[in-house]
């Protein structure tokens, strides 16, 4: 098999793939594929309940919060979050740390007042800006990790407002601290949680039902809370695979263990980038992402040849996002340390051949 | 394996399951699971293109229409359709033929004027009402097949307005006639198209961009048209399985062949319901659905015992929807004629033992 450095959809553990493939053939003792069972069968209801329980356990989510499996990706939460909690006369704070923040800001402006407190756009989003947060905000919105530019908040800005955080690309990779600081956490599944096709939303219930607008039924978080994410047919298989992936995470020690492993993986790779004369990092050092390692070649001629060399040696998904170019190694939870070591060795060998 | 009569998610052909399971292990020559590949990889782009091409071929969809793979189910189209094409001063016509129509009507009222032209609610939705459609409607909305009550439009009402049709439970089961009569066709995948997790929308492009409101980016059909359903990460695996299922349909003769097979399957089952002294049909005869066969027992004591008897003989999913009770056999495209014959034999045997 390959060493998969894609930014998302991304690598999941092989045991998850194996069990998922088996379930497509035949699920539990039902004599049916998981693709053809009712979402209201007791077997699938048990999957949903286990997935929710694992999320609550891993992230210490209390009963004040609902845990929802929706669809439409983080891109849908860009509008659903403000639509559900921001009235037209209220102000939300946003920090612009890249493409995804900018998209979230655009959607929020349809619903209320948006105060963009800081932006690193002029630096092409290579750092996380300092932020002084005013009081009186309905919420403070952050993109915790920027997959495109390889930056990550390592500490939230000080604020008295509830945090609304897009954690699509680093949820379950590290301790998120006290749940009570959050109003809403949302994440597309297709990085650390599971395959593409479902979106995790964790929302503090007492924030809901206060906005000055009527919501379509499907866009009201309360609809999905009332029906346990099964108001309509949920994406059965993607949720099942998320559950398997959460189970894998728990069985391998949970958040603290994976966080240490992720720090170690990132250190090994950044150390090589800093050491190797043919490569250089992109993001400001203290803001470097532990999930998406963006780097570039010092000699532009080497970009295509290194990608080719890596692909020939089973390392795939290393091309940078089309909007920034360069190289990017996404090293999510399920990427094994061996894959990072493999990449580092390829960089060393490439240097020996080309320096 | 079982005979799967679930109403949805529902049976898919075994060859589809087998190929899907293989792809979860290893997709094509990529050395990766389909669950971990980029939605922008050339291999997945080819899947999307093939799925769209198959839909265009099977339903004779012209270039005037976009074919989209979205998420959120038909329940999201209940509001997205009017949000995208119905201005607040325009009137849409709706025919109320059951739970799903009623939900669609509720959402449409948030966006424009809604004229409910006919309803069979007082008859507990056991028939399709006659409709005289006034002129001047922005569109006429219909639910083509009612999964809960087992009724189906066998002919659309006469109208000069474009049809907006929820075909969730009978798309690809029969010839839908001239595409030009439709404004929008939408369908949750999880009956005749594929597994739960994606929603098919076919929309006439010239209807768009005319409403008197601003739309969140993700809720504007034009966003998804411009980006080939990949503005954000689409539900990769559900779309892949839809493609496999469409390929299966084409390889087995396409719509005309499956329509004949579906008519034959339904006739066999309804004939037995009408003949067997222990069972009776629910819907008015001329409005009976060819997809969801609703029936009940003449002696209420027999309901549980027949369900138990059927389950013991590998026939599952026969319990009626919780809102109407009774029995329901969903006999979608992928349900083999042998499964209908098996059920009929069980009904005969049950009669012999209990009459």
Write out pLDDT tens, residues A54-109: 999 999 999 999 999 999 999 999 999 999 999 999 999 999 999 999 999 999 99
**pLDDT tens-digit map of A223-252:** 999 999 999 999 999 999 999 999 999 999
User: Is A69 touching B (CB cutoff 8 A)?
Assistant: no
**β-strand pairing of A279-281 with A163-166:** unpaired
Query: In which band, very low, low, confident or very high, does the pLDDT at A355 lie, cut at 50, 70 and 90?
Result: confident
Best mutation target, B8, B17, B27, B35, to test chain A (most A CBs within 10 A): B35
Helix A73-85 to helix A99-108 angle (10° resolution) is: 40
- Determine the average pLDDT of the residues in A153-181: 98
Using an 8 Å CB-CB cutoff, list chain B residues near A72: 71-72, 218, 232
- Determine the average pLDDT of the residues in A193-214: 98
How many Å lie between the alpha carbon of A85 and the closest alpha carbon of chain B? 16
CATH topology of domain A254-354: 3.90.1150
User: Is B107 touching A (CB cutoff 8 A)?
Assistant: yes
Judge: B217–A74 Cβ closer than 8 Å, yes or no: no
CA within 13 Å, CB half, A67: 18
Judge: A25–B18 Cβ closer than 8 Å, yes or no: yes
**Is B191 in the active site?**
yes
Q: What is the mean pLDDT of chain B?
A: 97
Whether pTM exceeds 0.90: yes
Judge: A17–B38 Cβ closer than 8 Å, yes or no: no
Across the interface, which of B30, B36, B83 has its CB nearest the CB of A10?
Answer: B36
**Which residue(s) pair with B69 in the sheet?**
B200
- Burial (Cβ within 10 Å: 0-12, 13-18, ≥19) of residue A14: middle
**pLDDT tens-digit map of B116-175:** 999 999 999 999 999 999 999 999 999 999 999 999 999 999 999 999 999 999 999 999
**Which residues make Cβ contacts (< 8 Å) with residue A56, sequence separation at least 6?**
A62, A67
**Which residue(s) pair with B279 in the sheet?**
B297
User: Is A213 touching B (CB cutoff 8 A)?
Assistant: no
As assigned by CATH, the class of the A14-251 domain is: alpha beta
How many Å lie between the alpha carbon of A299 and the closest alpha carbon of chain B? 26
Using an 8 Å CB-CB cutoff, list chain B residues near A1: 26, 31-32
B48: number of Cβ within 10 Å: 21
**Is B42 in the active site?**
no
Q: How far apart are CA A7 and CA A265, in angstroms?
A: 16
User: Is B75 touching A (CB cutoff 8 A)?
Assistant: yes
User: Is A98 touching B (CB cutoff 8 A)?
Assistant: no
- Determine the average pLDDT of the residues in B95-113: 98
Looking at A9-86, list the stretches that DSSP marks H as alpha helix, in order from N- to C-terminal side.
14-25, 42-59, 73-85
Can you give the pLDDT at residue B157? 98
**Which residues make Cβ contacts (< 8 Å) with residue B170, sequence separation at least 6?**
B144, B145, B152, B191, B192, B289, B290, B291
Q: What is the DSSP letter of B156?
A: P
List B13, B96, B170, B191, catalytic entry: B191
Q: How far apart are CA A228 and CA A226, in angstroms?
A: 6
**pLDDT tens-digit map of B297-349:** 999 999 999 999 999 999 999 999 988 999 999 999 999 999 999 999 999 99
Give the distance from CA A37 to its chain's centroid: 29
Q: How far apart are CA B247 and CA B270, in angstroms?
A: 29
The answer to whether B144 and A253 have CB atoms below 8 angstroms apart is no
Judge: B30–A2 Cβ closer than 8 Å, yes or no: yes
How many Å lie between the alpha carbon of A33 and the closest alpha carbon of chain B? 7
Can you give the pLDDT at residue A1? 79
- What percent of chain A is helix, strand and coil (3-state, nearest 5)? 40, 20, 40
Query: Is pLDDT of B1 > 90?
Result: no
Best mutation target, A200, A237, A240, A321, to test chain B (most B CBs within 10 A): A237
Which residues 130-159 of chain B have a CB within 8 Å of chain A?
A: none
Q: What is the DSSP letter of A128?
A: P
Can you give the pLDDT at residue B323? 87
Query: In which band, very low, low, confident or very high, does the pLDDT at B355 lie, cut at 50, 70 and 90?
Result: confident
Can you give the pLDDT at residue A55? 98
Best mutation target, A104, A216, A231, to test chain B (most B CBs within 10 A): A216
Would you list the domain boundaries of chain B? 14-251, 254-354
Using an 8 Å CB-CB cutoff, list chain A residues near B33: 12, 17
Interface confidence (ipTM) of the complex: 0.97
Judge: A71–B235 Cβ closer than 8 Å, yes or no: yes
Across the interface, which of A36, A196, A218 has its CB nearest the CB of B6?
Answer: A36
């Amino acid at each position: 098999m390959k060493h998969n450095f894609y930014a998302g959809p991304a690598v999941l553990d092989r045991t998850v793939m194996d069990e998922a493939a088996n379930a497509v053939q035949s699920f539990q003792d039902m004599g049916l594929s998981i693709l053809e069972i009712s979402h209201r069968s007791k077997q699938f209801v048990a999957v949903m309940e286990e997935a929710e329980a694992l999320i609550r356990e891993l992230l210490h989510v209390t009963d004040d919060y609902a845990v929802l499996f929706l669809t439409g990706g983080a891109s849908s939460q860009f509008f659903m979050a403000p639509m559900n909690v921001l009235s037209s006369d209220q102000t939300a704070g946003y920090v612009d740390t890249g493409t995804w923040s900018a998209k979230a800001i655009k959607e929020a402006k349809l619903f209320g007042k948006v105060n963009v407190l800081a932006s690193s756009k002029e630096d092409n989003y290579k750092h996380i800006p300092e932020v002084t947060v005013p009081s009186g905000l309905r919420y403070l919105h952050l993109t915790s990790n920027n997959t495109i530019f390889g930056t990550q908040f390592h500490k939230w800005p000080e604020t008295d407002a509830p945090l609304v955080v897009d954690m699509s690309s680093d949820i379950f990779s590290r301790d998120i601290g006290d749940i009570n600081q959050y109003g809403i956490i949302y994440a597309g599944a297709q990085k650390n949680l599971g395959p593409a096709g479902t979106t995790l939303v964790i929302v503090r219930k007492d924030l809901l039902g206060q906005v000055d607008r009527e919501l379509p039924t499907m866009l009201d978080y309360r609809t999905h809370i009332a029906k346990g994410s099964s108001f309509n047919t949920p994406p059965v298989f993607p949720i099942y695979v998320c559950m398997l992936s959460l189970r894998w995470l728990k069985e391998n020690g949970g958040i603290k263990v994976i966080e240490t492993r992720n720090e170690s993986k990132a250190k090994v790779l950044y150390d090589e980038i800093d050491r190797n004369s043919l490569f250089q990092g992109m993001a400001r050092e203290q803001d470097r992402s532990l999930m998406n390692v963006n780097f570039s070649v010092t000699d532009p001629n080497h970009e295509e040849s290194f990608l080719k060399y890596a692909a020939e040696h089973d390392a795939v998904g290393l091309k940078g996002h089309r909007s920034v170019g360069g190289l990017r190694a996404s090293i999510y939870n399920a990427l094994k340390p061996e894959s990072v070591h493999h990449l580092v060795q390829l960089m060393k060998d490439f240097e020996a051949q080309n320096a």
